[in-house]
Amino acid sequence: MSNQEESDENWIAAMDNLCSQLNVDPGATKKSKDSFAEIKRNFSLEGDSLHWMACALYVACRTSITPTVESGKAVKGNCVSLTRLLRLCNISLIQFFTKIKNWMDMTLMPSDFKDKISRLEHKFAVSTILFRKFQPLFQEIFMGLTNEPVKTKSSKKHKLQPCSTNALFNFTWCLYISVKGEFHNSADDLVDMYHLLLSCLDFMYANAFMADRRDILNPNFRGLPSDWSEDDYEQPNHPPCIISVLCELKDGLAVQARTMKDYSWNRVIKSFFEKGILNGDSEDHLGILDIGNFDVNVKSLNNLYETYVLSVGEFDERIFLGDHAQEHIGTIKKVSDTEISQVIANFGPSNKGCPDTPLTGRRYLGRRAEELTPVSEANNSLARLASFLRQSKPQPSACLMKLFAECGVSDETITKKVIEPCNTWMEQFAESLLDNQCSSETIAYRCNMVTCLYYKVFEHILREEHRKKPQVSLQVLLSQETYQLTVYACCTEVVLHSYGVHSLRFPRVLQIYNLSAFHFYKIIELVVKAVVEKLSRDVIKHLNAVEEQVLESLVWTADSPLWDQLDNTSVPPSAKVTIPESPLRRGIHSPMSTVDRYPPLMADQAKKQLFKDNVKPGQSLLVQTNTKNESSPTSSNGEITPKTPNTTPKKNNNSLMLFFRKFYSLAVVRMNDLCMRLRLTDDELKRKIWTCLEYSIMHQTQLMMDRHLDQILMCAVYVICKVSNSPSNQVERTFTDIMRCYRARPLADNHVYRSVLISTKEGSPERGDLINFYNRVYVQCMQNFALRFTGRNRDESSLSPLPAARGDATYSPGGQRVSGAPQLSVKTLTASPPPPPPHKHHLTYRFSRSPAKDLHAINTLVSCEVGGLKRVSETEEVVKRARCGSAGVARKLQGLVSDRQAL
């Protein structure tokens, strides 16, 4: 027998043994073995084979349907416990998430299954966060919790005893996860599930309090009555509610928690009593801890939860209670206050409780306060939003109605063009929440919140529009229903993110309102400007990330309206849409108005040409620029050649100019970041990479269809480094190097390079990894162009100008130049000291480190050159005084202030 045959027999025997222990049906067994054999034949499976078998078996079970005795009924998943499967395969939950992602990429699993795994992973992160909150809150209310495991009852008859604190701890967590299981579509929404946890603790406190369990209640708990320890204390007829106390102790929002208790928790608990799952006083929901009831309730709840876990194929959240939580979860130690960052760090960025900050748009972010936990971060966002909307109503305000009256907008127009459409959108949002199994009260509250926010944001935009262009009638904007819908959709996204509604995470909002990403991106900047001072840093950061997500991939889908516009015009070069970086323009807001973004349409053209707008290129959320432009045409071979400035683009292309200004701004920031991580610092090399990337966007635009900007960028970096490499200039980088550095970038997703569209055959897309895409697709389109940078064909004069990385000085060793005379530059503060000054007139000031005299010396130098700057103690005063001297320098320094606040 050959070694190969022996190896095959070994893994087949191991798989058969696994399926036997898990009682897997023959169909799923065969499916898992066939899948494992194929992957083993085509890929090198590193590590323990049992770990990969766990992946094969889990996928086979979750994609199989088992008929039941009842006609017309079927069960998905073969009733296989994921937790038991992982234990038998000796693989932790975190290791499983890592392996299953690789397995899905190798087997080209459909996106809906990947979404299930992503949600399962996110749910584990949320559960870990919630358990971390649960233990200290429980100990605030109850005392006597020890590290000893709960003793199980022997088979012999025993005298019933009141439950211990340890038994109560386990029961409380089991009750919570059982109730949470009733909210299938929202069980991973952090804010709601945290408030559900508070409701659970309030419920258990009520039962212990009314049972007068002084042996387990903490006498120092703030929620106890003040006279509880007095001899003449009389027990009330109803237990006190401790929701407010718990919210004060641990990052809760009392109004939200009470709503969750009254309309969600109580409803499920009532059903548990009606179904006999809980024994006790079914009217007052008490008595569950009574002797005789407690043991029965423990057994009943565990049976209920066991059935739930088997039916949905999820991990068993009771693993947090076990003595072997370390092995089962895969963490350094049992879940504790210090572990959450390590647990969350194992997940993709889209699943993090506190996501990374996007590379772009950072100037809109205020200074981070104290370090927030995921729960406090989420509740802070919701609290800021609630505060902003306090006193608001879901209707146009009196001030907005006054503005309408001043601009000659009739009541009939307001009703037909503003109020009625808004009511329709609110109904669409309510339907999506109903599908998510939200209570009617929760639906009403969130719809009200979205609508209130919409009217406040819409009023801000209209006032800004009227201020910028008072000659333009507001009737123009009110005729653009799709424009108003994008505002409403963006406000919906703010509310969903503030609540942490993972099941409706972006881009789900586009599906709710049937919007395209190409239309949606136009409004994000305007909404950010309307709320940037009012909402939390996390919300603004999220909107920045959403805009990046739209520009990098969503707008390039095959059904995007962008392709319709590209049918009539060519892709412009970056020099035509991007104004060269100048410190004089930093801190200046674009005068581009809302009407410019969403121009008026003739009545007979409105339906056909909606959003085919005549837009004057304006400021990006990511880029601060002036509106004047210098353009450079392209030659027949795609190379950019100089041309006389002030070439005005055709009006029907202006909307495209705005889009590509944003897109190129994102692209150059991504390129600079990747080059920095790869230690590619040569400006000429980066110009080659940029020229190659720009050429692919302009002349091989189809490469972007249903693909991702980063996929094309990584290929450009690889091919240019390869053709530019020489013995004296060792710049070649492997795809392994590139992908390793890419993974370290904020918000990077491994799926980007593991699953790239190769081709579409008869509607069935073929996907592969980035190297496969490069060899089969990219090289065919770009090889001839890339070879122009080698040998005799090399022509450095044809390189595109490298756009500046706006607002980010980290990419230039010398920092960002903010003035020419005198020469002023700013760069990110690093741990290493600055290089020695090249000459005696070189002055350096390091914020928070250098003495005040150094800043005074710089101020004196500037004062001598431009006047108006005499002395300063704070950066803000520099700006104030500069306004009296040079307006240009004032704007430059204002930009510096913005950058400092964003750090």
Same domain, 396 and 507: yes
Domains contained in the chain, number: 4
pLDDT for residue 446 is more than 90: yes
What range defines the domain where residue 1 resides? 1-109
pLDDT at 792: 59
pLDDT: is 635 or 860 the higher one? 860
CA dist., res. 79 & res. 308, Å (int): 10
pLDDT at 878: 42
* Per-residue pLDDT tens over the stretch 245-297: 999 888 788 888 998 999 899 999 999 999 999 999 999 999 999 999 999 99
pLDDT for residue 381 is more than 90: no
Structural domain ending residue among the three candidates 769, 789, 809: 789
pLDDT for residue 339 is more than 60: no
Same domain, 97 and 138: no
Give alpha helix (H) positions in 683-819. 683-699, 709-724, 735-743, 751-754, 770-773, 779-786
Cβ-contact 521, 662 below 8 angstroms: yes
Phi and psi of 661, rounded to 5°? -60, -45
pLDDT: is 250 or 795 the higher one? 250
pLDDT for residue 889 is more than 90: no
- Predicted model pTM: 0.74
Same domain, 175 and 272: yes
639 falls within a domain: no
pLDDT at 805: 58
Same domain, 258 and 125: yes
pLDDT for residue 335 is more than 50: no
pLDDT for residue 603 is more than 60: no
How many CB atoms neighbour CB 568 within 10 A?
10
Same domain, 426 and 548: yes
Q: Give 70's DSSP letter.
A: S
Structural domain ending residue among the three candidates 511, 533, 555: 555
CATH number at residue 56: 1.10.472.10
Same domain, 168 and 254: yes
Model confidence band, residue 65 (pLDDT cutoffs 50, 70, 90): low
pLDDT at 328: 60
379 falls within a domain: yes
Phi and psi of 285, rounded to 5°? 60, 45
Which residues sit opposite 766 in a β-bridge? 759
Angle of helix 779-786 relative to helix 683-699, nearest 10 degrees?
130
879 falls within a domain: no
Cβ-contact 594, 470 below 8 angstroms: no
Same domain, 278 and 414: no
Model confidence band, residue 514 (pLDDT cutoffs 50, 70, 90): very high
* Per-residue pLDDT tens over the stretch 206-253: 999 999 999 999 999 999 998 888 888 888 988 889 999 999 888 788
Same domain, 129 and 70: no
Same domain, 440 and 460: yes
Q: Is residue 193 packed enough to be buried (19+ CB in 10 Å), middle (13-18) or exposed (0-12)? A: buried
**How many residues can be counted in the chain?**
903
End-to-end C-alpha distance for the chain, whole angstroms = 65
638 falls within a domain: no
348 falls within a domain: no
The residue whose two tokens read 């349907």 is 65
pLDDT for residue 761 is more than 50: yes
Q: What is the torsional sign of CA 708, 710, 715, 716?
A: positive
Same domain, 394 and 541: yes
Model confidence band, residue 470 (pLDDT cutoffs 50, 70, 90): confident
Nearest-10 Cα torsion for 116, 121, 127, 133:
-140
The HSE-up count of residue 221 (CA atoms within 13 Å, CB side) is 27
Same domain, 290 and 416: no
103 falls within a domain: yes
* Per-residue pLDDT tens over the stretch 145-181: 887 766 655 445 556 789 999 999 999 999 999 999 8
pLDDT at 352: 40
Q: What percent of the chain has pLDDT over 90?
A: 42
The residue whose two tokens read 């229903």 is 481
Q: Is residue 846 packed enough to be buried (19+ CB in 10 Å), middle (13-18) or exposed (0-12)? A: middle
pLDDT: is 606 or 332 the higher one? 332
Model confidence band, residue 356 (pLDDT cutoffs 50, 70, 90): low
Structural domain ending residue among the three candidates 734, 755, 789: 789
844 falls within a domain: no
Same domain, 77 and 135: no
505 falls within a domain: yes
CA dist., res. 84 & res. 91, Å (int): 10
Which pair of structure tokens corresponds to residue 790?
């080698």
Mean pLDDT for the chain? 78
